[in-house]
Chains A and B, each alone.
Chain A
Amino acid sequence: MLFDIPIWKIVVDAYFVWVLAIFLVKFVISNKRMLSIAISFLFVYLIAYVANLLDLLVSGPILAYLAQWMPVLMIVIMAPDIRRSLEIVWKADARSDILVMGSERTKLCIVDAAIFLSSQKIGALMTIEKHNTLDQYAERAIMMNSEVSKEVLINIFTPNTPLHDGAVIIRGDSILCAGAYFVLSDNENFDKTMGSRHRAGLGISEITDSMTIIVSEETGHISIAIEGIMLKINDRDKLMEYVNMFMK
């Protein structure tokens, strides 16, 4: 007995709390945007606690009220992200535990395909997966599981073919799927003239650690989106440099 409670009850209680805690931690940490919001909320809770501790007359009740409504606010603001994070937590990761990035041949194929598509002004969206799984997007797309090759990538993005719309997801040395749709970025600083392809590329880079190569249909310009930043790439060497840096 501990504090008049049977030990076994405390152990079972601790186990249940631990299971819930693992779920909560994985749920929050699996999505960068969720994590960022969760940290902001934690900060507000901390301020509310300090205000309560100091018994502040005005800010105390306001912050307490805010802290009370924070979970509801989070659900309303983050609904799509919550859904995706839940999917990640529930489902087993289809990848092996060891991260394998693409080989030199894969890098060359991706860069060559991007350069060719750019020269022909064919729009393209190629997302290279890293640590964060993109399974939840691949499941809704056309599964391919084919080896990465310049010809296949060009063929996928050829206009008026069934797979040309949407993104290709590359995992290691293989094309996981084509025709994947991502959540568009709502970044206000982003150039308003950029199309939805660029917004999709930026959107996926904001919530995962992937890198996306975007080829503009209108101008043929190549951009890469990584960690919520969009960079314009002028030449092949620079693109190769970024791909090498990302896939090392």
Chain B
Amino acid sequence: MKRIFYLFIEPLKAFANRNFAEKLSTIYNKNKWIAYVLSIILTIVVLFLAYIIPNL
């Protein structure tokens, strides 16, 4: 309950305190191939936005 209240009052701070960067960095350091998977996902998203969306 307190966490939800905190999230409501200070969402930016609550978001920052989750330490996402730390967790992501640890995962990336253990699995370097994640950079390639992420870039493929990013490429697909960009291509989808550039080619598919305008032609829908």
List residues of A whose CB falls within 8 A of some B CB.
2-3, 5, 10, 13-14, 17-18, 21-22, 24-26, 29, 32-33, 35-36, 39-40, 43, 97, 130-132, 209, 227
- A3, B51: Cβ atoms closer than 8 Å: yes
Q: Considering only CB atoms, which chain B residue lies closest to A34 in the complex? A: B21
- A43-B29 Cα distance, complex, nearest whole Å: 23
Q: Which chain A residues border B7 with CB–CB below 8 Å?
A: none
List CB contacts (< 8 Å) of B6-29 with chain A: 12, 15-16, 20-22, 24-26, 28-29
List residues of B whose CB falls within 8 A of some A CB.
12, 15-16, 20-22, 24-26, 28-30, 32, 35-36, 38-40, 42-43, 46-47, 51, 55
Q: How far is the CB of B11 from chain A (nearest CB, A)?
A: 9
- A21, B15: Cβ atoms closer than 8 Å: no
- A13-B35 Cα distance, complex, nearest whole Å: 20
Q: A21-B39, A32-B21, A131-B29 are in contact. List 5 more A-B contacts (CB 8 A).
A: A18-B40, A25-B42, A39-B21, A97-B32, A131-B30
Report how many A-B pairs have Cβ atoms within 8 Å: 63
Q: How far is the CB of B12 from chain A (nearest CB, A)?
A: 7
Q: Which chain B residues border A26 with CB–CB below 8 Å?
A: 35
Q: How far is the CB of B56 from chain A (nearest CB, A)?
A: 10
Q: Which chain B residues border A132 with CB–CB below 8 Å?
A: 29
Q: Which chain A residues border B26 with CB–CB below 8 Å?
A: 209
Q: Given contacts A35-B25, A40-B16, are A22 and B35 in contact (CB under 8 A)?
A: yes
- A13, B47: Cβ atoms closer than 8 Å: yes
Q: Given contacts A10-B51, A26-B35, A40-B16, are A32 and B25 in contact (CB under 8 A)?
A: yes
Q: Which chain A residues border B15 with CB–CB below 8 Å?
A: 40, 43
- A209-B29 Cα distance, complex, nearest whole Å: 9
8 closest cross-chain pairs (CB), A and B: A131-B29, A36-B21, A21-B39, A35-B21, A21-B42, A22-B39, A18-B43, A3-B55
Q: How far is the CB of B50 from chain A (nearest CB, A)?
A: 8
